[in-house]
Structure 1
Amino acid sequence: MPKAAASTKCKTEPQPKFPSSLPTWADDTELVGLVFELEPTTSTSLYSQYTIGLHAWFLDQVRQLNPELSAYLHDGESEKPFNISALSGQLLASGRQLQLEAKQIYRWHVNALSPRVLQFLKQWLTELPQILDLRDAPLQIKQVSIAHPSATYAQLLQLSPEKPSNVNFSFVSPTSFRRKGHHFPLPVPVNLFHSYLRRWNDFSGMPIEPEPFLDWIDEGVIIHQHHLESMKVAAGKRGSVTGFTGVMSCGLSKPALANSEFTQLFYALARLAPYCGTGHKTTFGLGQTRLDWVEPEVSSPIQVLTNLLGERIDELTALFTAQRKRTGGDRTDKIASTWATILARREMGESLQVISQDLEMPYATVKTYVKLARRMLRTLTL
């Protein structure tokens, strides 16, 4: 009998352990960047605005483990203590959708900017699901590792270089700012460092008066070289964004270096950039930033597809806004943007069900809006 029992035991398949190793960090950590290695279970198509699905999946993971944090991330202050990237890897254009290839590895970044989010991540990694369920494109989570080292805000402040040096920023996903109610697709130093300072003031516990520092930035930061490309992208849940990608190198003038406190903060905020991203809509994949010189790629089929959707949303928004103003429609801008987003995504082949889920709107409402948008478009083209 003991032999039979031993034989039975040998035939039992061992339960897979995942993950085999977990990233760790000190308890006082305030910042960390994680990268997930993902593998599609089969080759499958993916809709062009899939970053909304990544955003929703991550927040649902938060909700399951920490409803209080989930509510804060949904409804809290305007500066969010996390951001995510789009997928990087062998993404191909297939008609008006994207194609994920089986047995290919795709990478996805999640960055945390506050101890509350770090505490969630530490717990979450011990209970991580094996599958990232991105609608009809399930991705197996193969590995998680640290992309940006664990740090505190005080450590960023203490790491100033011994000698003044230039800082290289690579904007690896479309990046944009808001200025006077419009998108502003240029990395002007004041906009750049205002973006980082807002996060610093919200999460570091060492707030800085913005106006004197930003005046100093405006006077003292010199752009030495850049290689930038603008594009129109659909980002977030509604509307489009005019953004840019590319690289920029900047440094400080000699008069600016005389202010040692602001010089120290300049370098600290530059080191913060890879963690917090640049500009707005960083929780939907925009503004991913690196501190090295990464030459932008020649426009890929994916960029062309993304640009196509963004331009179509922008075009339809302008048409619908003008028509509603002529007919005295109320809530003109919001409705026009919503109609344009729904119709453009439907034209790209996305289902109304997916669109309604992404926009968190009832299916019947989305169906009505697309009918109204098409009717108005026919009227305008007659």
Structure 2
Amino acid sequence: MREANEKISEQVHKLSDLKPFTVSPIFGTRFGKPTIIEKDRTYKLRVTFLEDKIFELFTTKVMRDRILKNTLRVGPIEFLITKVIVDHTRSYWASVFSPKDYIENNTELRKEITLSFVTPTLFRIGDLHLSKPDAEKIYVGLLKKFNKYSDVKIDESIVEELKKIKIVKDDTYERKIFFENFYLQGFIGEVTFSINNSAGEGNENISKELLTTFNVLSEFAYYSGVGYKTTMGLGQTTIIKPGEDRRRNGDDKKG
């Protein structure tokens, strides 16, 4: 990013929170132990963007580097770029999300949604780290990030309503992710959230606004990540669609 536009890069990295991009760990490595990169092996990295101008700068740079066979530095290691995928038909991890189109065209809003936390996810509270799923922290955090970068805004008075979102199934376990001089511990796995009969209320008391917000933010999590240090590999999240194959490991589709 710095090589593409130093001024914008500095502005982005000065943001203390809610940055407009995420970076995955290197797919093909095990983040439960220190990463070892081997020469002549192929690795994959996923980067998402919440601002068009940053997406355009980054993709222009990496496309050019791929053509010119320039290397991409990740930490102390230089990689040769062999493929850049932005088409969802070629990779599960590539896609584009338009909140406006989603809200206008999606007629099947769900009251129960399962999110898969693919990389360790945690929340920072002061000097403490919370490494357990928390529905309120997840959805309030998503709301703040959504409203910061989306052209479509959600009325933040919905925050109190978000407390009606409950965890009904927690199939997660703790996992460490290692950095150069330290590690963090978060949770990975699947969590099912529901607003069915929340707080003892009947389904008829679930507002359309809450239902829409619940679905939009759940979809948004795939792009924004969840929780702490999403720019350093944490909080990579996918939404599980009904009947969808749950086994995802970062592999691209062939072609």
What band does the TM-score fall into relative to the shorter chain?
0.7 to 0.9
Deviation of 1:179 after TM superposition, in Å, equals 2.6
| Counterpart-to-counterpart distance in 1, 2:94 and 2:62 | 17
Deviation of 1:229 after TM superposition, in Å, equals 1.0
Deviation per CA, 1:144-185: give whole Å up to 9, x if none: 112332232323433544253521111111111123541111
Determine if contact 2:31/2:178 at 8 Å carries over to the other structure: no
Taking a change above 3 Å as real, the CA distance of residues 271 and 119 of structure 1, as seen in their structure-2 partners, is: same
Deviation of 1:264 after TM superposition, in Å, equals 0.7
| Counterpart-to-counterpart distance in 1, 2:109 and 2:31 | 44
**Where does residue 230 of structure 1 map in the other structure?**
174
2:151 corresponds to 1:205: yes
The alignment partner of 1:73 has SS state of helix
2:184 corresponds to 1:241: yes
The total of aligned residue pairs comes to 231
The alignment partner of 2:82 has SS state of strand
2:128 corresponds to 1:182: yes
- Given the two structures, how large is their TM-score scaled by the length of structure 2? 0.78
**Where does residue 216 of structure 1 map in the other structure?**
161
Of residues 77, 85, 97, the one that matches 2:24 is 85
**Where does residue 325 of structure 1 map in the other structure?**
none
Deviation of 1:265 after TM superposition, in Å, equals 1.3
Deviates more, 1:137-146 or 1:273-282: 137-146
| Higher fraction of helix | 1
Determine if contact 2:63/2:84 at 8 Å carries over to the other structure: no
**Where does residue 8 of structure 2 map in the other structure?**
69
Equivalent position amino acid for 1:115 in 2:
D
Of residues 123, 146, 168, the one that matches 2:60 is 123
| Counterpart-to-counterpart distance in 1, 2:31 and 2:143 | 37
**Where does residue 270 of structure 1 map in the other structure?**
218
Determine if contact 1:90/1:104 at 8 Å carries over to the other structure: no
| Counterpart-to-counterpart distance in 1, 2:163 and 2:54 | 33
Determine if contact 1:177/1:280 at 8 Å carries over to the other structure: yes
| Correspondence 1:34-49 to 2 at 5 A | none
Q: Which has the higher contact order (CA 8 A, sep 6+)?
A: 2
Equivalent position amino acid for 2:110 in 1:
P
Deviation of 1:224 after TM superposition, in Å, equals 2.6
| Counterpart-to-counterpart distance in 1, 2:114 and 2:150 | 23
Equivalent position amino acid for 2:224 in 1:
C
Equivalent position amino acid for 2:11 in 1:
Y
The alignment partner of 1:107 has SS state of coil
Superposed CA RMSD in Å reads: 3.0
* Identity across matched positions, percent: 22
**Where does residue 155 of structure 1 map in the other structure?**
101
Of residues 10, 15, 36, the one that matches 1:99 is 36
The alignment partner of 2:3 has SS state of helix
2:117 corresponds to 1:171: yes
The alignment partner of 1:148 has SS state of coil
The alignment partner of 1:100 has SS state of coil
Deviation per CA, 1:251-275: give whole Å up to 9, x if none: 2224466310121111000000110
Determine if contact 2:169/2:192 at 8 Å carries over to the other structure: yes
The alignment partner of 2:7 has SS state of helix
Structure 1 residues without counterparts, runs of 5 or longer: 1-61, 298-382
Determine if contact 1:246/1:295 at 8 Å carries over to the other structure: no
Deviation per CA, 1:15-67: give whole Å up to 9, x if none: xxxxxxxxxxxxxxxxxxxxxxxxxxxxxxxxxxxxxxxxxxxxxxx122212
**Where does residue 140 of structure 1 map in the other structure?**
80
- Given the two structures, how large is their TM-score scaled by the length of structure 1? 0.54
